[in-house]
């Protein structure tokens, strides 16, 4: 069984990005990333800190906007419009989820698709479906694909099962796997799928993105499968110094012995998401016309 090391692969991606940042610097261009956080969700705050820190490490111009929970829809839209017009900013990310009174889809649509480094704007979703390389691909599925490539996992003709149908992971993951050059045959399973183990046991490549801790067990996985665990869930653990530990959607201990390769949690997909966000931001800067 191969344990796919997302931290090591992410480090290689970051090294590649540094070269591209240096090339842009020679042109007088500094990629700029704006990260907007509305409210005080602890997990969201931690994500924003890590993104801001990584951007600074890479020499990007990093702008962090932390807004109170009481921020109105109109106030947030005005900020997005300002960032759209700011020539220093090449990528805009509004941390999800926002407070309940914010219409997240309206905010996503307000972001200039050329600065939508999350890849959620309808124009970028359409470009992914059309296999147009000028669009931005959502960071987590893009990172999953890079992990498969780094591990030398052949995808052409393989049966991939994606468990989860979100616009953040499941749907774009399926589009990436079936596109020309990747060439997998894809099944999407979800909460209404009947006899889920019978479906997932058909998978040569199993992508778990359902947001339920330790949900997929040995009965869901065939011998020799490759498992990519997108889930990151906090569960109580009195034996842990913090009182909790992080686990994936896959029960690693029971599933790993059956696998040809598997990602751990933490240290698998997580580091890749931030690395691919930085890559998308640099791509945005590279695509910005000079002057």
Angle between helices 139-150 and 170-178 (to 10 degrees): 40
Distance CA 178, CA 138 (A): 15
Selecting among 54, 65, 95, 229, the annotated active-site residue is 95
Residue 34 pairs in a beta bridge with 63, 92
Decide if 202 is catalytic. no
Report, in this order, helix, strand and coil percent for the chain, each rounded to 5.
40, 20, 40
Could you confirm whether 251 is annotated as catalytic?
Answer: no
Active-site pick, 115, 116, 118, 158: 118
Here the tokens at position 158 are: 């393989």
From 51, 54, 65, 171, the catalytic residue: 51
CB 23 within 8 A of CB 281: no
In order, the DSSP letters of 233-280 are EEEE-TTSTTSEEEE-SB-HHHHGGGEEEE--SSSSHHHHHHHHHHHH
DSSP string for residues in 154-195: --TT-EEEEE---TTTHHHHHHHHHSTTT--EEEEE-TT-SS
Indicate which residues carry an active-site annotation.
51, 95, 118
């Amino acid at each position: 069984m191969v344990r796919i090391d997302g931290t090591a692969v992410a480090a290689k991606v970051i090294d590649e990005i540094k070269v591209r940042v240096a090339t842009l610097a020679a042109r007088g261009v500094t990629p700029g990333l704006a990260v907007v956080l509305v409210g005080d969700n602890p997990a969201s705050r931690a994500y924003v800190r890590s993104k801001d820190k990584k951007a600074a490490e890479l020499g990007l111009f990093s702008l962090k906007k932390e807004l109170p929970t009481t921020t109105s829809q109109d106030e947030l839209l005005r900020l997005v419009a300002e960032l759209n017009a700011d020539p220093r900013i090449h990528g805009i990310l509004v941390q999800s989820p926002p407070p309940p009174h914010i219409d997240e889809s309206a905010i996503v649509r307000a972001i200039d698709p050329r600065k939508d480094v999350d890849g959620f704007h309808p124009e970028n979703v359409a470009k992914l479906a059309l296999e147009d390389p000028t669009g931005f691909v959502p960071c987590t599925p893009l990172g999953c694909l890079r992990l498969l490539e780094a591990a030398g996992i052949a995808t052409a003709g393989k049966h991939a099962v994606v468990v989860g149908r979100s616009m953040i992971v499941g749907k774009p993951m399926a589009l990436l796997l079936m596109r020309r050059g990747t060439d997998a045959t894809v099944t999407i399973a979800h909460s209404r799928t009947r006899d889920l183990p019978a479906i997932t046991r058909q998978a040569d490549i199993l992508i778990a993105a359902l947001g339920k801790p330790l949900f997929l067990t040995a009965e869901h996985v065939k011998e020799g499968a490759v498992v990519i665990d997108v889930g990151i869930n906090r569960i109580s653990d009195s034996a842990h110094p913090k009182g909790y530990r992080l686990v994936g959607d896959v029960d690693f201990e029971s599933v790993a012995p059956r696998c040809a390769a598997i990602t751990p949690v933490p240290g698998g997909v997580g580091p890749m998401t931030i690395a691919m966000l930085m890559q998308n931001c640099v791509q945005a800067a590279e695509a910005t016309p000079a002057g």
